[in-house]
Amino acid sequence: MERSEDVIVGFENAEDAAVYRLNDQEALLQTVDVITPLVDDPFTFGRIAAANSLSDVYAMGGWPLTALSFVGYPKDGDLALLGQILAGGVETLQSAGCFLIGGHSVADSQIKIGFAVTGRVTLAQLKRNSTTRPGDLLVLTKPLGTGIVATAIKRQAASEGVVENAIRWMTQLNRDAAELMVEHSASAATDVTGFSLLGHALEMARASRLTFRFQVAAIPMLEGIRALAKKHAPGGTQSNRDYVGRELELLTSVDVETSNILFDPQTSGGLLVALSERNAASFVRAMVSRGRMAAVIGSALTPGAHALQLC
């Protein structure tokens, strides 16, 4: 398929956003994400949808500028409820310095909300998922388990504390992680969303032509998630497991609960960032100093028989 030479990033390597060169110094980032309800409160759902859509821009080291909304909503649905959802989204967009400038809606029996976000990035600071270096450490900036919590909410099986904690993470922007990974010269990054930690890691490892080895015990997980993980794994969990398939080598035993969490489809998850050993330590300290979380969970190795390893 033909494309302009100014399209720096398109469909290849499952990158987080498309990149269009504006000049020798800067480029536009373009991305779109749509989700279905995860929580009962409409305003909170709107906040999560916006944070989720903004994440792709942050994953590439950019900053968001404008957004267009997409709404799927029942014809006879409560418009006041829809207004609350959009109000939550607008609040989060504005907190990121991003402005809603239009959108589109369709009649749909299933509520869907999302945003197409346009951002800007300095070319020298652009982060891709294909540029991890051998020896880099892999850092995750949010705990896993939001998909399991969302499923448990639908089944009325999640405690109030677990839900509140999951909402806190899903509404947290990846802005600090984006700023700090640029400051600390990250070699590559991606955000962890619907394809799970291991699914997105596979895309990153393949694109970089390396093997990613993860230390299972080091991977952060939402508090209380193990108690829900066996019975409330969402349908996408098995799809993610099938997607990774034989690319995963187990160097340690992994129980069902842990496996479900590692393959859990995330909404508004954290960033998976590749940094040199020295810069990884500094990045983690800087994140903690801002009241954020970051944990070294693995390393990038020269390519082996499998793209991913768990030990």
Q: List every span in the chain annotated with CATH 3.30.1330.10.
A: 7-125
Question: Which tens digit of pLDDT belongs to each residue from 170-201?
Answer: 999 999 999 999 999 999 999 999 999 999 99
The pLDDT, as a whole number, for residue 76 is: 92
Question: Which tens digit of pLDDT belongs to each residue from 271-285?
Answer: 999 999 999 999 999
Check whether 117 has a pLDDT greater than 70.
yes
| pTM of the predicted protein model | 0.95
Mean pLDDT over residues 96-111, rounded?
A: 96
The pLDDT, as a whole number, for residue 2 is: 60
The pLDDT, as a whole number, for residue 9 is: 74
Residue matched to tokens 């989700």 = 35
Number of Cβ atoms within 10 Å of the Cβ of 154? 14
Q: Which two tokens stand for residue 301?
A: 């190795």
DSSP 8-state code for residue 290: T
For residues 1 and 107, the model is more confident at 107
Question: pLDDT band for position 253 (50/70/90)?
Answer: very high
The pLDDT, as a whole number, for residue 1 is: 54
Check whether 10 has a pLDDT greater than 70.
no
Of the candidates 170, 137, 132, the one whose C-alpha atom is nearest the C-alpha of residue 55 is 170
Mean pLDDT over residues 219-242, rounded?
A: 96
With a CB cutoff of 8 Å and minimum separation 6, the contacts of 54 are 64, 92, 93, 96, 98, 115, 117, 173, 174, 175
- Strand order, beta sheet including 137-140: 188-191, 271-275, 137-140, 295-301, 211-214, 308-310, 248-250
Q: Which two tokens stand for residue 46?
A: 């709107």
Mean pLDDT over residues 196-216, rounded?
A: 97
Architecture of 137-310 per CATH? Alpha-Beta Complex (3.90)
The pLDDT, as a whole number, for residue 13 is: 66
- Show the DSSP H helices in the chain as ranges: 42-59, 79-95, 146-154, 160-170, 175-183, 196-208, 226-229, 236-244, 256-262, 277-289
One-letter amino acid at 80 equals A
Core vs surface per residue 201-223: b (16+ CB within 10 A) or e: bbbbbbbbebbbbbbbeebbbbe
The pLDDT, as a whole number, for residue 4 is: 78
Question: Which tens digit of pLDDT belongs to each residue from 24-69?
Answer: 999 999 999 999 999 999 999 999 999 999 999 999 999 999 999 9
Q: Which two tokens stand for residue 18?
A: 């498309």
The pLDDT, as a whole number, for residue 61 is: 97
Give the C-alpha separation, 73 to 79, whole Å. Answer: 9
What top-level class would CATH report for the domain 7-125?
alpha beta
Q: List every span in the chain annotated with CATH 3.90.650.10.
A: 137-310
Q: What percent of the chain has pLDDT over 90?
A: 95
Check whether 3 has a pLDDT greater than 90.
no
The pLDDT, as a whole number, for residue 15 is: 82
